[in-house]
Amino acid sequence: MEIRSVKYRLGKSYGFQALVYILAFACVIPLLAILFYIIKAGVTKINWHFLVNVPKPVGETGGGIANALLGSILIIIVAAIIAIPIGIMAGIYLAENRKGRLAYWCRLSTDILQGVPSIVIGIVAYFWLVKPLGGFSGFSGSVALAIMMLPIVVRSTEETLKLLPDSLKEAALALGMPFHRVIFKVIVPVGFSGILSGVMLSIARITGETAPLLFTAFGNPYLSYKMTKPMQSLPLLIFNYATSPYNDWHDLAWGASLILLVWVLFLNIFTKIITRKWKVQL
């Protein structure tokens, strides 16, 4: 190797450091641009009227996104009811059985499920629920979102419970507690904040999911609370109205985007606070 002067090598080192700094912080620019633009475009559209009315037909100004808000909340609640028990139980199973053939395949399946494109889950939910039941429905959207939630809940439960000391469980078992009570009265309460943060994170993730809802919840311009009928949701409304040629509808979509963004960011920050608190306790 050719021997260079120390000055040259130091200069190269500093030059590279500067390049890394610039490139690293360049990523903040699009983020700030998106946040700033959404807030600027959305904040003037949001008022009480906007939150409690359904969208008006093309040509009439005004209207709101009440149907999408209600639909989003209902779909997410049902998805959470389906996914949380299954996810936590599967997570406990994985944490209790670190080795073993079934646990290995279960872990692999969870990893695979985490990487499956959301549109594929939409297709599958269409064939599992929409076609047999004879129509688009909010419930099928919930199932599709529940499938997306599952791997996040499973992994976070497993990771949390793995970190707990074995002595805790052993002490409870030595006192003669049956296994299921050890899990529900000792293990789950101690790891509660970790599990909760995983649940919150998964809810934040599915709140913004659009692709699985395209063929399941489908969208609905009217206020509807029936889970067996097509249902509007916030991301669907944004997608449909953003790609429409009408300015009134774009305005609605900007307002809806801001609400969705605030919702998702709130959930993320909440999760972060929980995890921070939990780490301090550990």
Partner 1 sequence: MDASVEKDMITRSEPLRVINSSPGAISKAKARTKRSWRQIRTESVFKRTLTIMGLVMIILVLGILLTLIVQSLPSIKSLGIKYLWSKVWDPVQDIYGAWPFLLGTLLSSFLALIISIPFSVSIAIFLGEYHPKGWLPNFLKNAVELIAAIPSVIFGFWGLAVLVPMVRILEIHLGVEPIGVGIFSSSLILSIMIIPYAASLGRSMITMVPSHLKEAAYGLGATRWEVIRSVVLPYTRSGLFAGILLSLGRALGETMAVTMVIGNTSLIPKNIFAPGNTMASVIANEFTEADKPVYVSALIELGLVLFLVTVVINIIGKKIIDRFTND
Smallest distance, Å, CB 196 to partner 1? Answer: 17
Tokens of 96: 């209790």
Q: Where are the alpha helices (DSSP H) in the chain?
A: 6-26, 28-43, 48-52, 66-96, 101-115, 118-125, 131-133, 138-163, 166-174, 179-182, 188-190, 192-207, 211-214, 234-242, 247-281
Is residue 249 at the binding interface for partner 1, with CB under 8 A as the rule? no
Are the CB atoms for 120 and 216 separated by under 8 Å?
Answer: no
* Binders of partner 1 in range 53-72 (CB under 8 A): none
Is residue 154 at the binding interface for partner 1, with CB under 8 A as the rule? yes
Tokens of 3: 């021997």
Q: CB-wise, 6 or 48, nearer to partner 1?
A: 6
Is residue 135 at the binding interface for partner 1, with CB under 8 A as the rule? no
Is residue 150 at the binding interface for partner 1, with CB under 8 A as the rule? yes
Is residue 12 at the binding interface for partner 1, with CB under 8 A as the rule? yes
Smallest distance, Å, CB 53 to partner 1? Answer: 21
Q: CB-wise, 73 or 123, nearer to partner 1?
A: 123
Are the CB atoms for 31 and 44 separated by under 8 Å?
Answer: no
Smallest distance, Å, CB 80 to partner 1? Answer: 16
Q: CB-wise, 27 or 48, nearer to partner 1?
A: 27
Smallest distance, Å, CB 56 to partner 1? Answer: 20
Are the CB atoms for 172 and 186 separated by under 8 Å?
Answer: yes
Per CB under 8 A, which region of 44-52, 64-72, 164-172, 211-219 contacts partner 1?
211-219
* Binders of partner 1 in range 77-116 (CB under 8 A): 86, 89-90, 92-94, 96-97, 102-103, 105-106, 108-116
* Binders of partner 1 in range 216-245 (CB under 8 A): 218, 235, 238-239, 242-243
CA 196 to chain CA centroid, Å, is 13
Smallest distance, Å, CB 167 to partner 1? Answer: 21
DSSP states of 119-152: HHHHHHHIIIIIHHHTS--HHHHHHHHHHHHHHH
